[in-house]
Amino acid sequence: MAGALKSPKPLQSLPLLVLRGRLALARVGVLPCVAALLLLAGVAGWLWLLLQRTSLPQQLAQPLAPVVTAPPAPSANQNLADFYAVLGPQRDAEQSVKMLFDLAEKNALVLNQGEYKTARDAASGVTTYQIILPVKGEYQAIWQFALQALRAMPFAALDEVAFRRENIGEPAVEARLRLTLYLKDGGA
């Protein structure tokens, strides 16, 4: 059987397949082949959508998170009562200043004499006590001091912080902090 046909090797059959494909394309034409590819892509798209649609009810069947409703908004009278409850007593203003000096010492800050200014709003019965403190120390210690002061006195507001450094390599920073204490009269 010397004349028997042998099957071509896989690499040798690739050029043969390409040639057959080109001949079939030439026989049929380019336009019908493009139309067949678009039709095939459309059918694949519809099948994908159908599969997505059948999996959607399974996703919807999962339990939903419980709905959390917000508590009702407080009334204006409640807001006003909460505001006055947070104010510090005016009679303790000097104690608040002493607390600032103690916190500065605790944070290893040099705290020079500050400037103090008082103002009163007669209509609301609220007194503001503005304190300007020049401090000197490490940058992080100054911020710790400011945050500790606000935590210790919830009736205080940090209005301004300004930093200054004489030399770029110097670890100590000079800062100017402006705090306002909101205080209520003893009878308010």
Ranges of residues in the chain with a pLDDT under 70 are 1-12, 55-64, 186-188
Domain topology for 84-184: Alpha-Beta Plaits (3.30.70)
pLDDT at position 100, please?
92
Is the CB of residue 176 less than 8 Å from the CB of residue 142? no
pLDDT at position 188, please?
45
Number of H helices, E strands in the chain: 5, 6
How do residues 115-132 score in pLDDT, each as one tens digit?
A: 999 999 888 889 999 999
Q: Residue 92 burial by CB count (10 A; 0-12/13-18/19+): exposed, middle or buried?
A: middle
pLDDT at position 145, please?
95
What are the sequence ranges of the domains in the chain? 11-58, 84-184
- From CA 69, how far away is CA 35, in angstroms rounded? 56
pLDDT at position 149, please?
95
